[in-house]
């Protein structure tokens, strides 16, 4: 009875233009339990191996039309058949013939008249090597699949470590890394780097009035609103902490930052999240501070954060639900290197 766990017997292809040799080898191998196939010449062998690759080939060298060397060469150039072991069988015992047999890809060489015990020993040896190679290949494939799964899992964990679970945008860690990357990029390219810090107005009162669950829902909606307000794929919205958000704006000066700040104010108002204890709007509103500088190698990104934070503080001081552009940052860029260094030390 066939069992799904039955190990199939190895298939051996015997190639020889002599019917007597074919009968002798085939009978001997058949008695040992091998599945034996036969071929009388090179072209038939190549077609047969292409259609149904055997586990091992016993190949005669001297055959009319296409000799065994040519057959082996063609087998070794075919990706489907290149790994099948080929044992040459020849009446020649010359070193030249043996060297050529190995040079075209043969794994062994048996001289005629052969001894059946020797043929069996060599066949068993190379079948065992072939089996070990296939097992190793299967294990490598399995290990490669595990590595890919592990890489995928690591990528997922990396993304999770940089994602704020509440708002589904980048967290503070992600902001810090991206800020440093964009800072150094702006130094290389000598382009302005803009930064927005914004804060939900009267958020503590919102939590006290509507509860923390509604507060969490509010922060999520605000985060998605901020993502809608920034139009470029290169602009990055992150949760900076609590009810505060940060937006990194590459290649953005004060002129370019102003319409973005306006869109943010309008977008949050359009969400129409009720806030009856707000003193500036019947709906949840936001205060925005923007700053932009052209980074220098002797400055730190903390400078831009400090400037944006000061602008945000000014926006809240002026009545909230609005934005302030830190003009001092633009003026700072115009000063000489010595003055820039002097100013940066004040923020360190």
Domains and CATH numbers, the chain: 11-138 (3.40.50.2300), 172-345 (3.30.70.270)
312, pLDDT greater than 80: yes
The total of other beta-carbon atoms located within 10 Å of residue 230's CB is: 19
Position 241 confidence tier, pLDDT thresholds 50, 70, 90: very high
Q: Strands 35-39, 236-241: parallel, antiparallel or unpaired by DSSP?
A: unpaired
158, pLDDT greater than 90: no
Task: Write the CA distances from 37 to 27, 109, 141, integer angstroms.
Answer: 11, 20, 30
Position 204 confidence tier, pLDDT thresholds 50, 70, 90: very high
Question: What mean pLDDT is reported for the chain?
Answer: 89
327, pLDDT greater than 80: no
Task: Please give the structure tokens belonging to residue 131.
Answer: 């089996």
**Share above pLDDT 70 across residues of the chain, in percent, rounded to a whole number:** 92
Query: Pick from 248, 237, 178, 242: which is nearest to 206 by CA?
Result: 242
pLDDT of residue 331: 52
Query: Pick from 38, 56, 58: which is nearest to 48 by CA?
Result: 38
Query: Pick from 31, 85, 30, 96: which is nearest to 59 by CA?
Result: 85
Position 239 confidence tier, pLDDT thresholds 50, 70, 90: very high
Q: Strands 56-60, 86-90: parallel, antiparallel or unpaired by DSSP?
A: parallel
pLDDT of residue 328: 61
Q: Residue 348: how many CA atoms within 13 Å on its side-chain side?
A: 9
Q: Crossing angle, helix 337-345 and helix 327-334, to 10 degrees?
A: 140
Q: Is 161 left (phi over 0), alpha (psi -120 to 50) or beta?
A: alpha
pLDDT in tens, 72-89: 999 999 999 999 999 999
pLDDT of residue 268: 97
Q: What is the distance between the terminal CA atoms of the chain, rounded to a whole angstrom? A: 82
pLDDT of residue 160: 84
Q: Which of 41-45, 112-116, 257-261 has the highest mean pLDDT?
A: 257-261
pTM of the model: 0.61
Query: Are the CB atoms for 168 and 220 separated by under 8 Å?
Result: yes
Q: Residue 332: how many CA atoms within 13 Å on its side-chain side?
A: 22
Query: Pick from 171, 241, 83, 258: which is nearest to 249 by CA?
Result: 258
Strand partners, 14: 38, 58
More confident residue, 309 or 337: 309
105, pLDDT greater than 80: yes
Picking from 174-178, 209-213, 337-341, which range would have the lowest pLDDT averaged per residue? 337-341
Q: With H, G, I as helix, E, B as strand and everything else as coil, classify residue 308.
A: helix
Burial of 240 (0-12, 13-18, 19+ CB in 10 A): buried
Q: Is 207 left (phi over 0), alpha (psi -120 to 50) or beta?
A: alpha
Segment 251-265 shows an average pLDDT of 95
DSSP symbol at 170? B
Segment 177-206 shows an average pLDDT of 96
Task: Please give the structure tokens belonging to residue 213.
Answer: 């669950």
Strand partners, 197: 246, 289
Position 341 confidence tier, pLDDT thresholds 50, 70, 90: very low
Place of tokens 């006290």: 208
Q: With H, G, I as helix, E, B as strand and everything else as coil, classify residue 164.
A: coil
pLDDT of residue 329: 53
Q: Strands 286-293, 193-200: parallel, antiparallel or unpaired by DSSP?
A: antiparallel
Segment 218-243 shows an average pLDDT of 95
Segment 194-205 shows an average pLDDT of 97
Q: Strands 193-200, 244-250: parallel, antiparallel or unpaired by DSSP?
A: antiparallel
112, pLDDT greater than 60: yes
Task: Please give the structure tokens belonging to residue 277.
Answer: 């204890």
More confident residue, 100 or 2: 100
């Amino acid at each position: 009875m066939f069992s799904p766990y039955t190990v199939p017997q190895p298939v051996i292809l015997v190639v020889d233009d002599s019917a007597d040799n074919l009968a002798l080898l085939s009978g001997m191998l058949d008695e040992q339990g091998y599945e034996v196939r036969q071929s009388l010449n090179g072209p038939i062998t190549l077609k047969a191996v292409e259609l149904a690759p055997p586990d091992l080939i016993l190949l005669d060298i001297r055959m009319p039309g296409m000799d065994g060397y040519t057959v082996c060469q063609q087998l070794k150039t075919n990706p489907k058949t290149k790994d099948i072991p080929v044992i040459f069988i020849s009446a020649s015992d010359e070193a030249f013939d043996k060297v050529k047999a190995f040079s075209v890809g043969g794994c062994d060489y048996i001289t005629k008249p052969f001894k059946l015990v020797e043929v069996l020993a060599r066949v068993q040896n190379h079948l065992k090597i072939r089996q070990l190679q296939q097992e190793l290949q299967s294990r490598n494939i399995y290990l490669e699949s595990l590595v890919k799964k592990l890489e995928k899992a690591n990528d997922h964990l990396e993304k999770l470590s940089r994602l704020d679970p509440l708002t589904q945008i980048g967290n503070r860690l992600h902001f810090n890394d991206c800020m440093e990357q964009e800072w150094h990029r702006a130094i290389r390219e000598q382009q302005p780097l803009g930064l927005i810090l914004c804060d939900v107005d009267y958020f503590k009162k919102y939590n006290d009035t509507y509860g923390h669950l509604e507060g969490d829902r509010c922060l999520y909606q605000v985060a998605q609103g901020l993502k809608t307000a920034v139009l470029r794929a290169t602009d990055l919205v992150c949760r900076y902490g609590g009810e505060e958000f940060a937006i990194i704006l590459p290649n953005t000066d004060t002129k370019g930052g102003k319409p973005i700040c306006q869109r943010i104010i309008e977008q949050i108002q359009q969400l129409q999240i009720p806030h009856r204890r707000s003193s500036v709007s019947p709906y949840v509103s936001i205060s925005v501070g923007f700053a932009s500088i052209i980074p220098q190698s002797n400055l730190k990104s903390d400078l831009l954060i400090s400037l944006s934070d000061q602008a945000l503080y000014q926006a809240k001081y002026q009545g909230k639900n609005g934005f302030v552009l830190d003009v001092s940052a633009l003026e700072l860029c115009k000063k000489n290197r010595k003055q820039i260094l002097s100013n940066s030390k004040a923020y360190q």
